Amino acid sequence: MTSIEQNSSASPQESVLAIINSKAPFSSSHGKDALDVALIFAAFEQKVSLFFQGDGVYQLMDKQDGSLLGIKDYLKTFSAFEFYDIEDIYVCQPSLASRQLDEDFHIDDVQVLSSIEFGLALNRHQHVLRF
Amino acid sequence: MSTLHLIRQSAFASNDFAQCLSVLDHRDSVVLMDDGCYNLKHSLMDSLIKRVGSVNINIIASHAQARAIEIITAVNTIEISDVVELTFTHNKVITWQ
Amino acid sequence: MKTLAVVITTPPYSHLTITALTYVEAALVAGINVIGVFFYQDGVMHANENISIASDEYQAIEHWQRLQKQYQLPLHICITAAEKRGIACDAIDNDKINKAFTVSGLGELVELTTKASRLVQF
């Protein structure tokens, strides 16, 4: 692989990639596939932010245990975000409210945002992928 | 900052369209394509059409015609080649599929 | 310079892929520099040499091959996603992989994303 060039069109406050997680954690591999993308961007020192919306918010909820389903619990890897310098983690408040969920997450430093704030936060990114 | 939103799923089957609308900003554009064309008859469409002028709404003509969907005047009919142009007249693209 | 990178997550037997192909070809015809297509999730199935789609159905794989040849369009498949789907990538002369595709890792997606002025997912 050749060296990663900094894209000149990105302003300093703008992150390279936003990943929107929209699926619940266990029935599909979307959450894991999104996590793999996030970690590789971080490993290449590219700024990546994670957004959780719709059923994606279930990926953040505490007291889950994928091992009961025989699944390798990729949610445990979320605790490594700090190590990877993945600092911007946003969750959509209306998505929590409509699912009767409290702000009881299995990782720290999750920012709960209104729809408008969620959209504005997305706007601070150069590219968006959604899983 | 403006975003081009590609809508590829029917709102009767998934929440993708609703999630898109919740983050839609003024100056953004929406393109209904594939089964996203069915959203033209979804109740969520009413709130979107009220925002015409601030938000630009488009539908892929061939995708709508193939599905026997009657196109309404508030919505611009375009082709996929126009989506290429829209990709570069907006700052980023989000695909809701 | 208008540069475009595309991520494909749908398989060759999904009709959603036709839209993606139409889009990529339209971009190439318009003279956009498409720096690469990255196949992720079920998108990697395009590189599966064993896939045979009935001749009266849409030939997505042939279409990618044609674009690759005509425009020297780089087609990258994610190795992890491919191996998970039975497309073995370790052998040098691998007969399971369509030769139009390059076996890459997610690092290639980082490369494409940071270089492209637009990233579009299908």
Pick the residue from chain A with its C-alpha nearest to B96: A130
The arithmetic mean of pLDDT across residues A18-22, rounded, is 98
Asked if the Cβ–Cβ distance from A4 to C81 is below 8 Å, we say no
Sign of the dihedral defined by the CA atoms of residues B42, B43, B47, B52, in that order: positive
The predicted structure's pLDDT at residue A14: 77
The predicted structure's pLDDT at residue B1: 85
What ipTM did this prediction achieve? 0.96
The predicted structure's pLDDT at residue B46: 95
Asked if the Cβ–Cβ distance from C16 to B83 is below 8 Å, we say no
B59-75 tens-digit pLDDT: 999 999 999 999 999 99
The predicted structure's pLDDT at residue B40: 97
Largest CA distance in chain A: 47
Domain architecture of chain B: domains with CATH: 3-96 (3.40.1260.10)
What CA–CA distance (Å, rounded) separates C17 from C24? Answer: 11
φ and ψ at A126, to 5 degrees?
Answer: -75, -40
Q: Is the pLDDT of residue B58 over 70?
A: yes
The predicted structure's pLDDT at residue C91: 64
Q: Which of C56, C88, C60, C90 is nearest to C75 (CA)?
A: C60
C84-109 tens-digit pLDDT: 998 877 766 677 789 999 999 999 99
Total number of domains in chain C:
1
CATH T-level assignment (fold) for domain A15-130 = Hypothetical Protein Ychn; Chain: A, (3.40.1260)
Largest CA distance in chain B: 35
Of the candidate ranges A11-25, A110-124, C58-72, C101-115, the one whose mean pLDDT is the lowest: A11-25
Q: Report how far apart the first and last C-alpha atoms of chain C are (Å, whole number).
A: 23
Q: CB of C58 within 8 Å of any CB in chain B?
A: no
The predicted structure's pLDDT at residue C93: 63
Write out the residue range of the structural domain in which residue C49 sits.
Answer: 3-121
What CA–CA distance (Å, rounded) separates C109 from C6? Answer: 9
Is there a catalytic annotation at residue C89?
Answer: no
Low-confidence ranges of chain C (pLDDT < 50): none
Asked if the Cβ–Cβ distance from A46 to C113 is below 8 Å, we say yes
Of C16, C22, C120, the CB nearest to B87: C120
The arithmetic mean of pLDDT across residues A11-26, rounded, is 87
Indicate the pLDDT class of residue A73, thresholds 50, 70 and 90: confident
Write the CATH number for C13. Answer: 3.40.1260.10
Indicate the pLDDT class of residue A1, thresholds 50, 70 and 90: very low
The arithmetic mean of pLDDT across residues A72-91, rounded, is 95
CA distance C55 to chain A (A): 31
What CA–CA distance (Å, rounded) separates A11 from C43? Answer: 32
Chains in contact with B, where contact means 3 or more Cβ–Cβ distances below 8 Å, are A, C
HSE-CB at C53 with a 13 A cutoff on CA atoms is 17
Q: Residue C36 is encoded by which pair of tokens?
A: 């690469």
Mean of pLDDT over chain B: 97
Of A55, A118, A127, the CB nearest to B23: A118
What CA–CA distance (Å, rounded) separates A109 from A126? Answer: 23
Catalytic residue among C5, C44, C45, C78: C78
Asked if the Cβ–Cβ distance from B84 to C30 is below 8 Å, we say yes
DSSP-derived pairing of the beta strands C33-39 and B56-60:
unpaired
Of the candidate ranges A2-11, A80-89, B27-36, the one whose mean pLDDT is the lowest: A2-11
Q: Is the pLDDT of residue A5 over 90?
A: no
DSSP 8-state class, residue A41 = H
What are the extents of the domains in chain A? Answer: 15-130
